[in-house]
Copies of this chain bind each other. A is one copy, B any other.
């Protein structure tokens, strides 16, 4: 990140569950989550929570850089430390700093890929398949150190927490996974 931009950024702290921005707000800042985790979420009409992005040492809601309004809520999953870049300055820095710019493009490309992987995952109609797909795409090592509650993970997978618990239990019983506390490991078979 270019120093010119960093100087214009404001350090911000948010408590757990605090709102960084809400749907409909005019985007004034691009947030970089330095410490902790923030998420992008929406609620369906019936109230089920949907998680669209989890940011940890990364930007949150990048797409809002050019939007007239936020399409989602941004909330802190825990107490966090964030850098807030005024969008105007951010755009200027993108125009001025080639290094920063190519980082930004890489970041966007990665985010597109991640979102598409999530689409593919949600297309799987089977709870167990979604879990395995998550492990395969998000954990190169095959080991997932869960940094959130299982209930929150269920929302990210597009499942109810009950369905997630049962599917985890089933996969564990079948010997496909080893579940030990917040560590979930794929065993090498089928």
Name A residues whose Cβ lies closer than 8 Å to a Cβ of B. Answer: 40, 42, 44-45, 48, 50, 52-53, 62-63, 65-67, 71-72, 94-95, 98, 101-102, 104-106, 108-113, 115-120, 122-125, 129, 158
Contacts and interface: CB of A to CB of B under 8 A. Distances in A.
12 contacts: A44-B120, A44-B129, A45-B129, A48-B123, A53-B116, A63-B112, A65-B109, A66-B106, A71-B117, A72-B116, A111-B112, A122-B158
| Stoichiometry, copies per complex | 2
Contacts of A115: 112, 115-116, 118-119
B71 A113 contact: yes
Contacts of A110: 63
Contact of A108 (B102, B105, B122): B105
B98 A95 contact: yes
